[in-house]
Amino acid sequence: MNVFALFFSLNLLFLCPFLSQADVPELSREPPRPIVFVPHDRSKSDPQQVHVSLAGMDHMRVTYITEDKKVESVVEYGTQPGKYDRKNTGESTSYKYFFYSSGKIHHVKIGPLEPNTTYYYKCGCNGPEFSFKTPPSSFPVEFAIVGDLGQTEWTAATLAQIKSQDYDVFLLPGDLSYADTNQPLWDSFGRLVEPLASKRPWMVTQGNHEIEFFPIIEHTTFKSYNSRWLMPYTESLSESNLYYSFDVAGIHTIMLGSYTDFDSESDQYQWLQADLAKVDRKMTPWVIVLLHAPWYNTNEAHEGEGESMREAMESLLFNARVDVVFAGHVHAYERFKRVYNNKVDQCGPIYITIGDGGNREGLATSFKKPPSPLSVFREPSFGHGRLKVIDEKRAHWSWHRNNDSNTVLADEVWLESLSALSSCWPSSQSHDEL
Ligand SMILES: *[C@@H]1O[C@H](CO)[C@@H](O)[C@H](O)[C@H]1NC(C)=O
Ligand SMILES: *[C@@H]1O[C@H](CO)[C@@H](O)[C@H](O)[C@H]1NC(C)=O
Ligand SMILES: [Fe+2]
Single out the catalytic residue among 209, 252, 302, 331: 302
DSSP secondary structure code for residue 391 in this structure:
S
- What is the full DSSP assignment across 195-260? HHHTTS-EEEE--GGGT--BTTTB--TTHHHHHH---STTTTT-S-TTSEEEEETTEEEEE--TTS
Ligand nearest to the CA of 249: 1
Q: What is the mean pLDDT of residues 289-298?
A: 98
Instruction: List 48's β-bridge partners, or say none.
Output: 65
The residue whose C-alpha atom lies closest to atom 13 belonging to ligand 2 is: 408
Distance CA 205, CA 173 (A): 5
Ligand nearest to the CA of 331: 3
Question: What local confidence, expressed as pLDDT, does residue 32 receive?
Answer: 82
Active site residue 219: no
Q: Does residue 354 surpass a pLDDT of 50?
A: yes
Q: Class of 141-433 per CATH?
A: alpha beta
Question: How do residues 336-349 score in pLDDT, each as one tens digit?
Answer: 999 999 999 999 99
Q: Where are the domains of the chain?
A: 48-133, 141-433
Q: To test the ligand 1 pocket, which listed residue (116, 141, 169, 248) has its Cβ within 8 A of the most ligand atoms?
A: 116
Q: What is the mean pLDDT of residues 361-368?
A: 93
Distance CA 182, CA 11 (A): 7
The length of the chain, given as a count of residues:
434
Distance CA 82, CA 40 (A): 24
Question: How do residues 13-64 score in pLDDT, each as one tens digit?
Answer: 334 333 333 444 444 446 788 999 999 999 999 999 999 999 999 999 999 9
The residue whose C-alpha atom lies closest to atom 1 belonging to ligand 2 is: 403
Instruction: Kindly provide the b/e burial profile for residues 26-38, where b requires at least 16 CB atoms within 10 angstroms of the residue's own CB.
Output: ebebeebbebbeb
Distance CA 434, CA 431 (A): 5
Q: Beta strand pairing status for 244-248 and 406-416?
A: unpaired
Q: Does the C-beta of 220 come closer than 6 Å to ligand 2? A: no
Q: What is the mean pLDDT of residues 362-381?
A: 95
Q: Does the C-beta of 408 come closer than 6 Å to ligand 2? A: yes
Question: What local confidence, expressed as pLDDT, does residue 165 receive?
Answer: 96
User: What would be the CATH architecture of the domain defined by 48-133?
Assistant: Sandwich (2.60)
Question: What local confidence, expressed as pLDDT, does residue 431 receive?
Answer: 47
What is the Cα gyration radius of the chain? 21
Q: Does the C-beta of 409 come closer than 6 Å to ligand 2? A: no
Q: Does the C-beta of 404 come closer than 6 Å to ligand 2? A: yes
Lining residues, ligand 1, CB within 6 Å? 116, 136, 138
Cβ–Cβ under 8 Å, residues 305 and 329 = yes
Question: How do residues 151-200 score in pLDDT, each as one tens digit?
Answer: 999 999 999 999 999 999 999 999 999 999 999 999 999 999 999 999 99
Q: Measure Cα distances from 264 to 51, 269, 285, 326, 339 in Å.
A: 34, 6, 26, 22, 21
